[in-house]
Amino acid sequence: MDPISTVEAALTAGAVASAQPLAGQALKDVYQGLKALIVRRYGDKPKVQETLKEHEEDPETYAKPLQKALRTAQVENDDEILEAAQYLMTLVQQQQVGTNNYNIQNSGTVQGQIIGGTGHKIDMSFGELPRK
């Protein structure tokens, strides 16, 4: 995903997730912080600020206009904004884990995962096979 799409996706995920009654305060704070950072850095570009507000109210409709405004402002060159967007995405993904049975998202390398509560014995070996 390109940097502009990452920022827009984080803003969309943050807007949707923070509107949920069970959203954690940390998620809401990081979302507000990302928006504030963008406004602080690019608030002199009225299109960014205006489109950001419209996007928060209707993310689906204003996704493309927000991407265009962010691209025009060259937000993809701002490492702090990109890091904040990536951090927000990790918070949103954490809240999704375990919301339904077996709705698991891994964001790192996994070398063995067992999902389910069957109560059956499971043997897992990594590397050399065990000697009998």
Single-letter residue type at 100: N
Asked if 7 and 82 touch (Cβ cutoff 8 Å), the reply is yes
Asked if 44 and 60 touch (Cβ cutoff 8 Å), the reply is no
Confidence at residue 97, expressed as pLDDT on a 0 to 100 scale: 41
Confidence at residue 34, expressed as pLDDT on a 0 to 100 scale: 95
Q: Which tokens is 115 given? A: 């999902």
- Tell me which residue of 114, 87, 68 sits closest to 14, measured CA to CA: 87
Residues in the chain: 132
Confidence at residue 115, expressed as pLDDT on a 0 to 100 scale: 60
Confidence at residue 47, expressed as pLDDT on a 0 to 100 scale: 86
Confidence at residue 127, expressed as pLDDT on a 0 to 100 scale: 67
* Residue 128 located in a structural domain: no
* Residue 30 located in a structural domain: yes
* Residue 115 located in a structural domain: no
Total domains in the chain come to 1
pTM above 0.75, yes or no: no
Asked if 34 and 88 touch (Cβ cutoff 8 Å), the reply is yes
Work out the angle at residue 67's Cα, subtended by the Cα atoms of residues 66 and 68, and round it to the nearest 5 degrees: 90
Give the span between the Cα atoms of 1 and 86, in whole angstroms.
11
* Residue 82 located in a structural domain: yes
* Residue 109 located in a structural domain: no
* Residue 105 located in a structural domain: no
Residues of the chain with pLDDT under 70: 94-130, 132
Structural domain containing residue 46: 3-96
